[in-house]
Every structure is written in structure tokens, then in C-alpha cells.
Structure 1
Amino acid sequence: MSVSRTAVVAVEEIFALRWAVLRTGLPRETAVYPEDALPGTFHIAAYDEAGAVRGCATFFPDTFPGEAATAYRFRGMGSAPEVRGQGFGGAALTAGLRECAARGAALAWCHGRTSASDFYRHMGFERVGEEYLLEPSGLHYDFVTKDLLRD
């Protein structure tokens, strides 16, 4: 299975995947993020050949602590368990970074799960600061990149 396309979509398009993979076993409302309603927020879906959403991410304007540059933070990034390691998460992130650049951002960042550290480093992100607990999803680091894949 491979990524057939990515797109900027409405939150409803990615919500089922977000809830299933990032809030497994928790009530549906735990997958509703306050940032979903912010001006400037956008959502990315990565699709398989059959048109199913297999990867997703949500991006919104948010300054990175200590930086004056225009920044986007992302959260809710994940891929369906059956396609992990097949490029769907990376495709959603890459498409989101391009969209951030098109919207004038100089950097992008996230509170990334410690377990995803290798993925973020592979994608060109730098780990910043100390590890911390972020409920309900566990241990995290902040990750930041200024490589927004400008066209």
C-alpha cells in the first residue's frame, strides 16, 4: 500500500483516524482539539490508492517559545496501524510543512511523543528541551524545524 495523494481537508475528513489512533479507547470528545476552531488552522489527510485516509495532521499558528518568527505548531499527527512505516505519516507532515511555508511560516514545531523521536529526527526536526509528561498521551519532547520545504 502506498500514498496516492495528500490534501488540505476539513477536520471531519481526518477525525475518525485521529480519534482511533491518538485517543484509542478514550471518549470521542478527547479527539476534539480547541485549535480546530482557530483561524488559520488547517488539516492534512494522506490517502491510499482506494481513497481511504491513512495519515493525518492538524496545523495551526502558534509561536515557538523564545522565537519571534512566524510559526505553526502541529498536533494530531498519526497513521493507521496497518500502514505504519509505509510513509503516510511522513507524507502528511511533508504536505503540512509545505502549506505552512505557503502561509508565510518560518518554522514548524510540535509536542512530539518520545516514542516518535526517531521519526521526527528523520524528518529534519531537532529535539529541544527536556522530556515531559503530557496527559493523556505520555512522555514528550518539543521538536522544531526551519526546513519548511518551500517550493
Structure 2
Amino acid sequence: MRGSTVFVSFVPVEEILDLRQEVLRPGQPRESALTDVDMLPDTFHLAARTDSGALAACATFSTEPLPDTPALAPFVTEGVWRLRKMASAPQVRGQGYGGAVLRAGLDACTARGGRLVWCSGRLVAAGFYRHHGFTPVGDQYTVPGIGRHHHFVLRLP
């Protein structure tokens, strides 16, 4: 994969549910990988596939305001997008698929007038988010049944 082009496409949520469930909700029902915003008109889903066509990475972007916390109060309130349910298949991690999906999503948010993208990221993924320009904001917190998280933000050009 290194050195080759990764193709990312817009997909319906049904195409990424299995990967979401496998990576983000292991041992839970497939439906647990759905969110309340997956079917909203402004929400979009992206996927990257391997050369063989296997789903390698996915992400969802939606127009969701920042959480009402003091640490996030200084940020813009217009043009805010949320990154959700980002997942990479374990066998392709570190090969650029996740980064390609993220970059494509950030470009799509910018094209839609986005000024800021935020996410509630797992601490195990903090290095990935930082590598791609996100900044952790506020205190860490626990999402019950999932683990330690941090809010991350990225201002768009």
C-alpha cells in the first residue's frame, strides 16, 4: 500500500457498519455501530478499500455543534462538523487508509463551508489525531463501556 494511491469514496452507512462494529463495538450487536445522525441529510460517510476491494477504513462526518463545555467555548460555532465512528481494519493499520479517509472528509467539510471539525476520540487514537493536526481540548473523560476519551479540534482552512 505504501507509495500507492488510496481511493476514498462516499458510501451509504450500510457499507461501513460491519467495520464499525468490529473495531469500535466488538462483541456488541451490529446495530450498536449506528448513530442518531447517520441518516440525516448533511451527514456523509467515507470508505477506503484495499486493492482487492476489502473495506480498509471508514469515517462519518455530520454537522453537530461542539459540546457545551468551558474548554470548547472559545471555538467558532458556525461551520462546525463532527468526525464520528472512524475505524481502520486492524490488518491495514499504519498503511495510510485512515489518513486518506480523514483527509477526504476534511476536504469535503471545507467544501461545504466547514470552519472546524471536532471529535470525541479514544486516547489510544490520540497520536493519530495529533499527527493529522487535531488538538486535544479540555479534560479527558470516560465513555461508559468504551474507555477514556478526549475532545479534539481542528480548524479548517
Same fold (TM over 0.5): yes
Counterpart amino acid of 1:111? S
Q: Which residue of 2 aligns with 1:26?
A: 28
1:137 aligns with 2:132: no
Greater shift, 95-104 or 65-74, is seen at 65-74
| 1:118 and 2:127 correspond | yes
Cα separation, 2, equivalents of 1:56 and 1:100: 15
| In 2, Cα distance between equivalents of 1:51 and 1:116 | 25
Deviation at 1:64, TM superposition (A): 2.1
Q: Tell me the equivalent position of 2:58.
A: 56
Partner of 2:107: 98
Partner deviation per Cα, 1:70-108 (whole Å, 9 max, x = no partner) = 111011101000011111111111111011011111010
Q: Which runs of 5+ in 1 are unaligned?
A: none
Match of 1:71 among 80, 100, 110: 80
Residue 126 of structure 1 aligns with an amino acid whose one-letter code is: T
Comparing 138-147 with 64-73, greater Cα deviation is found at 64-73
Tell me the CA shift for residue 38 of structure 1.
1.7
The equivalent residue for 1:8 is 10
Aligned residue among 109, 123, 145 for 2:118: 109
Q: How many residues align?
A: 148
* Identity in percent: 49
Deviation readout 1:111-140 (Å, 9 max, x if unpaired): 000111111100000000000001232100
CA distance in 1, matches of 2:130, 2:43: 24
- What is the TM-score of this pair, normalised by structure 1? 0.92
1:5-39 deviation digits (Å, cap 9, x = unpaired): 00111111111111111111111121111110222
Let me know the Cα RMSD of the aligned residues.
1.3
Unaligned runs of at least 5 residues, structure 2:
68-72
Q: Is the 8 A contact 1:124 1:147 kept in 2?
A: no
**How many Å separate the matches in 1 of 2:19 and 2:124?**
19
Q: What is the letter of the counterpart of residue 94 of structure 1? A: R
